[in-house]
Amino acid sequence: MVEDGDHQEKRQPASSHYLEIMADFSRAIGDATDLGSLLNLACLQAARATAVERSKIMRYEREHGDMLTVAGVGWKPRVVGHVRVGTDIASPPGRCLQTGVPVVIEDLPNDPEFRYSPVLRDHGIVSAMNVPIRVDGEVWGVLEIDSERPRSFGRPEIAFLSALANTLGQAVAFRQQAARTDEAFAEAAASLAAQKTLLRELLHRDRNDFQLITLLLMQQMRKQADEEARRGFLHVIDRVAAIGLAHDQLAARDGKGLVQLGQYLGALCGNLTHRSERVGIRHELAEIEIAHDRAVPVGLIVNELVTNAIKHAFPNGREGTITVSLSLASEAKEAVITVADDGVGMGPPRPGGSGLELVAGLARQIGGRVQQLPSRAGTATEISFPLVV
């Protein structure tokens, strides 16, 4: 009996099937006219190789603190180019970004470690796999395959998808390098360019250190039988992520030692926005430059206050809004941050709670003051601190 082409492909050994697709992808890279075409080609080959219904690529955008879906196949309108996902470890692509290792989920709707996003729920996704896309030594984004049927992705699928992502990362790096070479560099700038390259390498190594710390904390968290202890580890992981985000903002400014505080807090809020579908986060942020070592405590303060509001200010499915503002006061010598919510208000101290103590301690590090503001609904906290000490 003569079988059709699809049946012949299914009967091929997995290794031969994957090698054939990788060869096709490698040949087609040079024909891709732009980056978008290259990314869509990778999505198409990933879905084809693993026989899934959908695949997509999410690019990390440090200015927003989250990832944007930049390419994909099989998705409804207004997903590609529109949908953003969080970079926290409860987000499958976020965990892949934070740890730099593949993330495989066989039963996403019932896995307590992960958040089931509205987009995946809307498409009936059950199983998923995420692999990092590395460009110039750092995670540029994440390639994800999604299945409506329960799937158990094994080592061959992980190895293939990782190889595809690595090849894609090299192609993206080549295109970026080619674009950079089109620019004319003066001889006088050669020494400065070398110094910046060295500094970037050091910053990339620091980013890898953050990934290692996150991995170690997650390993220890999984060993804890006590739920309170696990929540404690999650708090620490969130704080590490907030520090890492400040580091990303520093890297984006060519290592000048200064962080654009408004951009940093905006990216932090962008990341935290994905923690809850019911709670929105608005921000009104002035453009203020501040030293990196002072920006980190500020980011941790905002992270702590917003996270606490998400967790405790809107119980029983209540919807609401958290507003974060940053402004200048006292003739531009002092900055003022306000974090306010329209939730149920601050109740009695919770046993074991240390969030406000941490906020007060961090404020003292930068010579700041913390006070609770009167509010008709919810809770409002103001932190004032000098721009320089």
Q: Report pLDDT for 109.
A: 96
Q: Report pLDDT for 88.
A: 95
Question: What does each C-alpha distance from 204 to 40, 147, 197, 237, 250 come to in angstroms?
Answer: 27, 33, 11, 19, 11
Average pLDDT per block of 10 residues along the chain, 389 residues long: 36 73 87 88 95 96 94 96 95 96 96 96 97 94 97 93 95 82 58 57 59 78 83 75 66 65 89 88 92 87 90 89 91 88 74 70 92 88 88
Q: Residue 246 phi/psi, 5° resolution?
A: -65, -40
Q: Which two tokens stand for residue 187?
A: 């001889």
- CB of 79 within 8 A of CB of 119? yes
List of residues 6+ apart from 163 with CB closer than 8 A: 18, 22
Q: Report pLDDT for 2.
A: 28
**Residue 276 in 3-state DSSP?**
coil
Q: Report pLDDT for 4.
A: 35
Q: Report pLDDT for 176.
A: 82
Q: Report pLDDT for 331.
A: 72
Q: Residue 332 phi/psi, 5° resolution?
A: 65, 20
Q: Report pLDDT for 3.
A: 34
Q: Report pLDDT for 311.
A: 87
pTM value is 0.65
Domains belonging to the chain, first-starting first, are 11-181 (3.30.450.40), 194-386 (3.30.565.10)
Q: Report pLDDT for 193.
A: 62
